[in-house]
Structure 1
Amino acid sequence: MKQSETITQADISVKMVLDRWNASALNANTLLDSLSDETLMKEIAPGKNRGIYLLGHLIAVHDDMLILLDMGEKLYPELNEPFIKYADKASTEIPTVSELRLYLTKQNEIMKQKFEAFTTDDWFKKHTAVSAEDFVNEPHRNKLNIIITRTSHLQYHLGQLRLLK
């Protein structure tokens, strides 16, 4: 934003939400970088999800954001089945931790570019899972709200992943 532009409450709101998303993504990357591939193969607790499942799950959920935010197609649609549709260990064919790390890096770069291309007004437009008719009565079902809910989701799973340290 140029200094000559007037900063609105909407601009501030968008900045606050995106700053939290970016900080959460950075925290996730830092934590994941501190965990070895072997550690990510372990269960968070006995009988619970493994770290690899949570990593794949986060990538798959964030991939869905591209659709919800009308930013294009998923990068990794093949992750939906093993990491969203089914529970951990239900699918025997999943990418390796190393592959998932590469997917996450690429996904973060692309999402950052797409987020930066949005204007403040873009963030307050409806997301793709709400009809135009429903959006009239529920304007909070906007694209910025997707970032808020996905940031909470990311933080929840980061808490689980910290148990692997």
Structure 2
Amino acid sequence: MTTTATTIAPALFVKMILDRWDASIANCDTLLNSLSDETLQKEIAPGKNRGIYLLGHLIAVHDDLLVLLDMGEKLYPELNEPFIKSPDKTVQQLPAVSELRSFWVQQSQAIKQKFDNLKPEEWFEKHTAVNAEDFEKEPHRNKLNIVVTRTSHLQYHLGQLRLLK
């Protein structure tokens, strides 16, 4: 029996996108491990966000993945206010860089485990921010597409963090 492109395409698409996600997380891990806590306190450019803010922002945004993909509750809901709703340097008390580093590692592991448990066809189901009626008209508004957009988001901020080197 031969395998046709239509039977392997969903699994192949999922693998391609999740491989890019995993590589982006690994690249971020490598960069974060090369930057000191003191360096992450610096602005990426004069008047711009600090490294600590970008790290907290990435954790808060990735926390939303769990909800959007219907994989559970946020791990760090307390990070939403200082890192999504508020601009950098407007919140007086932020978690320590060491705490954020720990959150990043724990969250990345939890997300990877949840991603690995999803079957390829489940990635093409609707995410929680779209209703059934809209999803029927726009099936591209699926779980896999959320990972595509979040990977792009991660890459954007990874580029900013590289300016700290």
> Normalising by structure 1, what TM-score?
0.96
1:50 maps to a residue whose letter is R
Q: Shift in Å at residue 112 of structure 1?
A: 0.7
**Identity, % of aligned positions:** 70
Q: Shift in Å at residue 114 of structure 1?
A: 0.3
Deviation per residue, 1:8-49 (Å, 9 max, x gap) = 111000000000000000000000000000000000000000
Distance 2:102 2:19 in 1: 23
Distance 2:76 2:142 in 1: 24
Distance 1:69 1:94 in 2: 27
- Structure 1 SS opposite 2:87: coil
Distance 1:72 1:82 in 2: 22
Look up the match of 1:137: 137
Look up the match of 2:78: 78
Deviation per residue, 1:32-70 (Å, 9 max, x gap) = 000000000000000000000000000000000000000
Q: Which moved more, 1:5-14 or 1:106-115?
A: 5-14
Distance 1:120 1:46 in 2: 44
Map residues 74-153 of structure 1 onto 2, 5 A cutoff.
74-153=74-153
> Normalising by structure 2, what TM-score?
0.96
Gaps of 5+ in 1: none
Deviation per residue, 1:117-162 (Å, 9 max, x gap) = 0000110000000000000000000000000000000000000000
2:12 pairs with 1:40: no
After TM superposition, the runs of 4+ consecutive aligned structure 1 residues lying more than 6 A away are: none
Q: Shift in Å at residue 93 of structure 1?
A: 1.4
2:143 maps to a residue whose letter is K
1:130 maps to a residue whose letter is V
| Backbone CA RMSD of aligned residues | 1.1
Distance 1:162 1:54 in 2: 11
Q: Shift in Å at residue 94 of structure 1?
A: 1.1
